[in-house]
Amino acid sequence: MKLATQSLKDLQGKKPADINTYVAQLRVQLAELQHQVATGKEKQTHQLRELKRAIAQAHTVLTAKGKEQ
């Protein structure tokens, strides 16, 4: 499974609505990957950690943008 994560600098340049859309996409990917790991179709479990980290980074950027305004 190919992960569609963005760099932190890319996230900082986006609008909050775009970041929320990005987080929603990541959550869908995470749910799909968790299902694949549980059924034994996916062996690369490190991708779970990468997706969770990308979601946390996006939330951090959202929080920082909220404090700027």
Q: What is the mean pLDDT of the chain?
A: 91
pLDDT of residue 31: 96
More confident of the two residues 67 and 43:
43
Question: Can you say whether the dihedral through the CA atoms of 29, 22, 60, 1 is positive or negative?
Answer: positive
Confidence of residue 68 (pLDDT cuts 50, 70, 90): confident
Query: What's the pTM value of the predicted model, to 2 decimals?
Result: 0.88
pLDDT of residue 69 exceeding 70: no
pLDDT of residue 46 exceeding 80: yes
pLDDT of residue 4: 73
Between CA 44 and CA 59 the distance in angstroms is: 25
Between CA 17 and CA 36 the distance in angstroms is: 29
> Contact, 54 vs 5, CB < 8 A?
yes
> Contact, 3 vs 51, CB < 8 A?
yes
